[in-house]
Amino acid sequence: MIDTPGIATKIDYEDFMKHKMKKKASQKRAKEATQGIVEAIKWLEDVDAVVVVVDATQNPYSQVNITIVGNLIARNIPVLVVANKIDLKKADVKKVEAAFPEYEVVGISAKNGKNMDEFYESVFELSKKA
Ligand SMILES: Nc1nc2c(ncn2[C@@H]2O[C@H](COP(=O)(O)OP(=O)(O)OP(=O)(O)O)[C@@H](O)[C@H]2O)c(=O)[nH]1
Ligand SMILES: [Mg+2]
């Protein structure tokens, strides 16, 4: 099981500085984070199935989501989309479903454990496709 770092298209060392890191350390950390993403994308070559976890309070139609999911579709890799943070008012699972019509979407809250049974059931179904 691989837990990849969050795949972002933009890593700004100044974001690390906002967390009280010095400039040099922030630049080093940003470089490492970028490397982590490159490695995560390489790992996609070797996986049997992918659980894509998105923040359901954010716009699902981001460039990075479209690129990653497009890549998985092209490779015929089974995918389950998890719309996380349904404990927040802003969360919109329907919007996530509309953005990824190819895949099953399960809404959960990792924070308070909501819908975990449905999630495990979906992972089991996903494993059968792998
Ligand atoms: N409200 C709410 N917040 C959550 C939930 N799950 C995670 N978070 C918060 O979201 C932030 C990111 O959570 P992480 O678990 O670090 O996310 P990640 O995708 O593993 O992040 P990276 O591995 O660093 O890319 C943290 O502040 C969590 O507390 C949730 O279900 N509800
Ligand atoms: Mg993580």
Q: Where are the domains of the chain?
A: 1-46, 48-129
* Beta strands per DSSP E along the chain: 50-55, 79-84, 104-107
Q: What is the pLDDT of residues 16-56, one digit of tens each?
A: 999 999 999 999 999 999 998 888 888 888 899 999 999 99
Q: Confirm if 80 and 126 have CB atoms less than 8 A apart.
A: yes
Closest-lying ligand 1 atom to the alpha carbon of residue 8: 25
**CATH fit for domain 48-129, picks 3.55.50.30, 2.70.180.20, 3.40.50.300, 1.10.3720.10:** 3.40.50.300
Please tell me the distance between residue 30's alpha carbon and the centre of ligand 1 in angstroms: 19
Kindly state if the Cβ of 88 falls inside 6 Å of ligand 1.
Answer: yes
Starting from the CA of residue 11, give the closest ligand: 1
Kindly state if the Cβ of 111 falls inside 6 Å of ligand 1.
Answer: yes
- Note the pTM of the prediction, 2 decimals: 0.90
